[in-house]
Structure 1
Amino acid sequence: MSKATKSVGEVFERVLGPTAAVSITAYDGSSAGPADAPVAIRVCSPLALDYLMSSPGDLGLARAYVSGALEVTGDLYAALRTLAAHVDQLRPADRLWLLRALGPRHLRRVRPPAEELPGRAQRTLSGLRHSRARDSEAISRHYDVSNRFYELILGPSMAYTCAVYPAAGSSLEEAQAHKFDLVCRKLGLEPGMRLLDVGCGWGGMVKHAVRHYGVQALGVTLSQEQARWAQKDIVANGLADRAEIRYLDYRDVAESGFDAISSIGLTEHIGARNVPAYFRFLASRLKPRGRLLNHCITNPDTGVPHRSGGFIDRYVFPDGELEAPGEIITAMHDSGLEVRHSENLREHYAATLAGWCANLETHRDAAVAEAGAGRTRVWALYLAACRLAFERREIELHQVLGVKTGEDGAAGMPLRPDWGV
């Protein structure tokens, strides 16, 4: 293969096209695109090209950005949207041209950034995938970064799941409160009922249900930092007589006879093969006519692999897996629950992520001081990329409501939904 003769600017112009609304400057002094473009990408060193050419899938871009070898000035989401639109159109002939233009030296393997985990196979030292030990380590890896770091991104609600916007102009905080209230109404909560919230995070659902619906609530999480923060907050708000947060695997919940169970953002962590057992366990903890609301990210169809891509798996959610909504519904039905309602909130998650991106940009300096520059870049890339993925329907968000019918088949459900959807 001949020696590369193209400048970095020429190579990016070939990929993005001469009319792309992004400017490129590179370490070799070359450039491409309009100088006044709203988004500017700087290729700071040859390391960026090494990562892009030698790493599979989305790992190359992630490594280049997280390492600082590639910098983005302006809206990172807008940059990803522009890049995705053009990279999706690359043909095999285009990729071959890139290889010839850049030269084989950029195919060399280089050490990934310190923030990256080893691949799935290399993580077996922590236990088999979705064993209790490995699940605990994976959850800790993501959620135990720093409570303060999450406060900067999530805002006062400390809700790290898809919000539900009652109107287009609603704030993120209003939408998170509306989400919790929607879940409470779908579960039919009333004073004196007992609620179990699995994967409770920082306790947002527990607090909302106790305050506004008068229930007794137990929340469980595998994150020590979440449990510590949430229980302290419950005590500070005078709710300790009606609410409790435990650092506990959901499989170790001994109590049963709950009137309702909420699972908001946990299914993504348990593994596709464990979904049937997951719903069987939760169904066993419900009393007859008790309801379960499962809220989780889903694949758009069953042809999409369950396992997440390289960037998400190695930097964000280790061992995360997604199922299609039909797989979730089937598993719920087969566990003995009767599915009564399903709702796709995909656009709401895109809006939620836009809010988190804005929070991180506003508090970027504080986030870097709290968690480091590399970790902050990971989260910026992850939030912006997920926003784009929801908009492009590469992933969805489904709430599915089921009920444990009595022996006589009674569900205790209204003839028509009464929760105002």
Structure 2
Amino acid sequence: MTAPTRVSVPTRTSADLIRAEEPVVAHNYHPLPVVVARAEGTWVEDVEGRRYLDMLAGYSALNFGHRHPALIEAAHRQLDQLTLTSRAFHNDRLAEFAERLAELTGLDMVLPMNTGAEAVESAVKVARKWAYDVKGVPDGQATIVVAAENFHGRTTTIVSFSTDETARSGFGPFTPGFRIVPYDDLAALEAAVDETTAAVLIEPVQGEAGVVIPAPGYLAGVRELTRREGCLFIADEIQSGLGRTGRTFAVEHEDVVPDMLLLGKALGGGIVPVSAVVARREVLGVLHPGEHGSTFGGNPLAAAVGTAVIDLLRTGEFQRRAAALGVVLRDGLAELVGDGVVGFRARGLWAGVDIDPTIGTGREISERLMREGILVKDTHGSTIRLAPPLTVTEEELRSALAALKRVLAA
């Protein structure tokens, strides 16, 4: 019997794969021209074997690096047992996940979902239901106050209260019931809140806007105002939470506990999409069977990975690393101000860096850094974002800063 003839299948290059996407993948993103094939820790490798230091970490979805051993082990272990039941039945992993997450946040109840946008949509529904059932707002009149330049997701309802015309244009008609005020402006917020207000929804740090950090006292002021006016404080910590800013949650920088905390991205360890609304019992308690749901929300695989993520955070190691290395990041960027950097904002291992527009756009700087083996992402003109995995070493961080310095000098 003759052996079968082996047919050699040519390996597709990065350029081949990028061209192949063009006709079949919707053009809702404009990625950097790098095709990642493998990753470990803080490093990724493209199809041709070129290595890059990941300074974006999947918009903070990879806070613990690529393929963290404890998270991969948890996923493998669960894959051998059970992956999905839907919420038609109980599963043996959900209770532990919810217990650990409630303990981590200092709140009472967990509504498990999948994506960040789902968590925000869920919070909007819960806040409105709470306003009608508990606060007594007349049906259909509940309002939610949000901040300008926000980014909470891309569903129709969420872009209804975006001020980014790229996100909004062509997608109307929009969902009513939202009032937009300037970020970091307590007076404007107070003026917008009235007897119909169900909640104030803000990001403790505005990520997509360029890592915009409010003035000291703002978050505490929002907490006091919402408490005084009898409405809910919803903190969207989908990007800022879970160690990124040097604390478990960004609201902890002002010792604030919101009524609802929205989590996602890093909660899935870069392995599966996991999000959650975590809230006080009297808030999430307004939901009853049939009023909200998700087939995959709280699935056993997500719960197993999410529990392993929480276990990593309970040690405090990653929060301490983000705080300590955040000083290195901040000091390194400060040295570049006046030499191609016109300003920056940093908290923990997270920074928005404003590049001198005469040197290049954020996209152009990102592409030049890519050629230096450093991956970042631009936002809004000449601003780039830095958000490495919390596992990054000081040497790697300084290497990235040195590459930025070279790119700016060139």
TM bucket (normalised to shorter chain) is 0.3 to 0.5
Higher helix fraction (1 or 2):
1
TM-score normalised by structure 1 residue count: 0.32
Of structures 1 and 2, the larger Rg is shown by 1
Tell me which of the two structures has the higher relative contact order, counting C-alpha pairs closer than 8 angstroms and 6 or more residues apart. 2
TM-score by length of 2: 0.33
